[in-house]
């Protein structure tokens, strides 16, 4: 089947951005749409003289030493300011989810507040816990590890505050106008930020299997919020493309906002770095306990040990796979930094400072204190054992190879826990040189942060048929349905059936496919996989069914329910 693909970037920038983001709110309040003279991005501003979008590197920070809010806030005060504001606007406050994303099949860590609701809620399969809702979600991202402690603003652990609305055809909550108005009122009326310093930069967002136009909200040279209007879902046969992925229209229109709790607190205090406002006690403790005052390691340690408090407190067990791999990576990185600055205390001494500071807002972390201490003692001992045997492994490798490349470094780390810095010391003792990527830790974290996907067949041929009616969007709890067979045969060597309608949910956007059976004439045909191809839903089966036959479809509800339950139960338990 021939399909015409439109580049999503061009489509959104030239059409959807101008339409979706050309808001009455902007026009009614005197905003002007301008093009940044530095980066070429379009943005909205109240300042007629402004020529730059307000984002780095186009501008520098202007809030350091010059806070932009009406008063200084602590982390707890800023969180409560945000949550209570949106409660007053009709949003239901919900508790945060764990930082280990057990309900997801594609990622191991919770990377944003919207990740709590992908893919089950955003797909329309499950109902949200409230609609609209507001949340402050602890999130972990390890893709910029080398910047933490260096840039002054990068963190591995942060809270993404978000207000979310899930709009369907039958239940409109709010969309672009209200979202932007809420944001502007919160920043100006509630926090006291001068509105002429705020810019709204047009952009595109994609993540977790979804995408859509967005507004990046900037003030003082820092992005303090992002307003995403999620309207696309990842679909390998979709009409739009971004970053090499194809997307199609979503049945829901989802308001996905992210306000940086730590960043908003930072601009309210105007300190030199974000670490100074977040971790003053921990930083002071590290400085007093260390022999060498190296700020990059001190700041990174303050950040990493808070990350470990959440990782281990939310139940991650260090190991060589999945989320456990990432926890062990952060533990060993922290231990190396303690060695760099000559700090001889147990790693738990720093994690415990965070646990005590977090006790009021996250009591469950403090309750896990004893278990966290035991885990860190065991992991520290394993790390020391690795140091002892590291030289032997490297020597053996050098007997086989004259040089050690990046792949060998990754293999040494993954298989034996030997970090490139240890390899460098051993190699240099032999009078040899070795090049180590500056972003090595980020590189291995990225490799191990997502579930590996099996490669799919590149080309799938199916007959010309009308698009399948999707009953699962009409009723997410439909367990049985009747339909007519439009076609049955083989698709790429697999038996398949295409119906005029279906309640079987296809794989897509991180959501696993349904399984079940099709019944006709006393026969039972198993449905083992379901895929959506160019709007047509293909049921892969263990046998074919004659065309034009009426069948009864039966969803494997225990499987469907268990997938849904992973999402909702996590929220309830937490």
pLDDT, tens digit, 9 for 90 and up, residues 4-58 = 223 334 344 344 555 789 999 999 999 999 999 999 999 999 999 999 999 999 9
Which residues lie below 8 Å from residue 486, measured CB to CB, with a gap of 6+? 465, 466, 498, 499, 500, 547
Strand bridging mode 92-93 / 133-140: parallel
Query: Per the omega criterion (within 30 degrees of 0), is the bond before 119 cis?
Result: yes
What residues are paired with 214 via a beta bridge?
Answer: 203, 228
In this predicted structure, what is the pLDDT of residue 446? 72
Query: Per the omega criterion (within 30 degrees of 0), is the bond before 331 cis?
Result: no
Coil, helix or strand for 33? strand
CATH entry, 469-573, from 2.40.50.100, 3.60.150.10, 2.40.30.130, 3.40.50.300:
2.40.30.130
In this predicted structure, what is the pLDDT of residue 384? 87
Name the DSSP letter for residue 98.
P
What residues are paired with 469 via a beta bridge?
Answer: 501
User: Rounded to whole angstroms, how far apart are CA atoms 102 and 71?
Assistant: 39
Q: State the SS3 of 58-94.
A: CCCCCCCCCCCCCCCCCHHHHHHHHHHHHHHCCCEEC
Residue 461 CB-density burial (10 A; 0-12 exposed, 13-18 middle, 19+ buried): exposed
In this predicted structure, what is the pLDDT of residue 235? 87
User: How many residues can be counted in the chain?
Assistant: 574
Kindly report the CA angle at 310 between 304 and 63, in degrees rounded to 5? 55
Residue 240 CB-density burial (10 A; 0-12 exposed, 13-18 middle, 19+ buried): buried
**Quick count: other Cβ atoms within 10 Å of Cβ 450?**
14
Residue 381 CB-density burial (10 A; 0-12 exposed, 13-18 middle, 19+ buried): exposed
Query: Per the omega criterion (within 30 degrees of 0), is the bond before 275 cis?
Result: no
Handedness of CA 233, 237, 242, 243 (dihedral sign): positive
Tokens of 409: 């470094």
Alpha helices in 143-292 (DSSP H): 176-185, 261-269, 274-278, 280-289
Contact 213, 12 (CB under 8 A): yes
User: Rounded to whole angstroms, how far apart are CA atoms 151 and 457?
Assistant: 42
Return the half-sphere exposure (C-beta side, CA atoms, 13 A cut-off) of residue 242: 22
Tokens of 218: 């900037």
CA neighbor of 260 nearest in space, from 78, 29, 122 = 78
Coil, helix or strand for 503? coil
**pLDDT profile of the chain (574 residues), mean per 10:** 33 53 96 96 96 96 97 98 98 96 88 92 90 98 92 97 95 96 98 98 88 95 96 85 81 95 98 97 96 93 98 91 90 94 97 98 96 95 83 74 72 73 73 73 70 49 84 77 94 90 78 87 93 89 93 88 49 34
Tokens of 266: 């930072």
Contact 373, 350 (CB under 8 A): no
In this predicted structure, what is the pLDDT of residue 236? 83
Core vs surface per residue 250-267: b (16+ CB within 10 A) or e: bebbbbbbbbbbbbbbbb
Coil, helix or strand for 50? coil
What's the whole-model pTM score? 0.74
CA distances 371 to 34, 161, 315, 316, 377, Å, are 54, 29, 10, 11, 10
What residues are paired with 210 via a beta bridge?
Answer: 207, 233
What residues are paired with 507 via a beta bridge?
Answer: 531
Which residues lie below 8 Å from residue 35, measured CB to CB, with a gap of 6+? 41, 42, 43
Contact 113, 99 (CB under 8 A): no
Fold for 6-269, please state it: BirA Bifunctional Protein; domain 2 (3.30.930)
**Quick count: other Cβ atoms within 10 Å of Cβ 163?**
28
Which residues lie below 8 Å from residue 321, measured CB to CB, with a gap of 6+? none
Name the DSSP letter for residue 249.
E
CA neighbor of 257 nearest in space, from 303, 234, 233, 223 = 223
């Amino acid at each position: 089947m021939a399909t015409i693909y439109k580049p999503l970037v061009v489509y959104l920038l030239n059409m959807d951005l101008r339409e979706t983001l050309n808001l009455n709110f902007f026009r009614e309040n005197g905003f002007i749409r301008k093009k940044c003279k530095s980066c070429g991005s379009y943005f909205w501003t109240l300042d007629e003289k402004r020529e730059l979008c307000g984002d780095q590197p186009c501008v520098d920070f202007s809030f350091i030493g010059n806070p932009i809010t009406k008063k200084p806030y602590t982390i707890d005060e800023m969180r409560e300011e945000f949550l209570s504001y949106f409660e007053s606007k009709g949003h239901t406050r919900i508790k945060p989810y764990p930082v280990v994303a057990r309900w997801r099949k594609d990622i191991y860590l919770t990377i944003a507040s919207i990740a709590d609701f992908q893919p089950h809620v955003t797909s329309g399969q499950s109902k949200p816990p409230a609609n609209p809702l507001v949340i402050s979600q602890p999130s972990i991202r390890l893709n910029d590890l080398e910047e933490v402690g260096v840039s002054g603003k990068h963190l591995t652990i942060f809270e993404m505050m978000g207000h979310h609305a899930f709009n369907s055809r039958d239940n409109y909550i709010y969309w672009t106008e209200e979202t932007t108005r809420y944001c502007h009122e919160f920043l100006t009326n509630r926090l006291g930020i001068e509105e002429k310093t705020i810019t709204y930069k047009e952009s595109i967002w994609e993540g977790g299997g979804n995408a859509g136009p967005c507004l990046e909200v900037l003030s003082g040279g820092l992005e303090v919020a992002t307003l995403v209007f999620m309207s696309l879902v990842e679909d390998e046969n979709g009409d739009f493309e971004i970053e090499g992925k194809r997307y199609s229209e979503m049945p829901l229109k989802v308001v996905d906002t992210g306000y940086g709790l730590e960043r908003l607190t930072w601009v309210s205090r105007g300190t030199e770095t974000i670490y100074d406002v977040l971790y003053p006690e921990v930083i002071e403790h590290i400085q007093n306990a260390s022999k060498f005052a190296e700020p990059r390691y001190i700041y990174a340690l303050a950040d990493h040990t808070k990350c470990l408090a959440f990782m281990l407190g939310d139940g991650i067990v260090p190991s060589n796979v999945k989320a456990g791999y990432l926890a062990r990576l952060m533990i060993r990185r922290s231990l190396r930094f303690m060695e760099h600055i000559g700090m001889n205390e147990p790693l738990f001494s720093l994690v415990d400072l965070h646990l005590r500071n977090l006790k009021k807002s996250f009591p469950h972390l403090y309750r896990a204190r004893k278990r966290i201490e035991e885990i860190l003692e065991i992991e520290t001992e394993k790390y020391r054992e690795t140091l002892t045997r590291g030289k032997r492994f490297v020597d053996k490798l050098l007997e086989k190879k004259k040089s050690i490349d990046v792949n060998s470094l990754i293999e040494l780390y993954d298989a034996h826990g030997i970090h490139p810095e240890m390899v460098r010391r051993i190699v240099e003792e032999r009078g040899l040189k070795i090049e180590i990527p500056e972003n090595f830790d980020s590189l291995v974290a990225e490799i191990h942060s997502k579930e590996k996907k099996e490669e799919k067949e590149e080309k799938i041929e199916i007959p010309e048929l009308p698009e399948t009616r999707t009953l699962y969007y009409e009723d997410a709890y439909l367990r049985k349905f009747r339909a007519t067979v439009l076609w049955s045969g083989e698709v790429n060597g697999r038996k398949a059936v295409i119906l005029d309608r279906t309640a079987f949910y296809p794989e897509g956007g991180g959501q696993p496919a349904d399984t079940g059976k099709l019944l006709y004439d006393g026969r039972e045909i198993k449905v083992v996989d379901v895929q959506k191809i160019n709007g047509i839903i293909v049921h892969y089966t263990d046998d074919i069914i004659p065309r034009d036959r009426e069948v009864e479809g039966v969803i494997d509800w225990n499987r469907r329910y268990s997938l849904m339950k992973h999402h909702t139960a996590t929220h309830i338990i937490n």
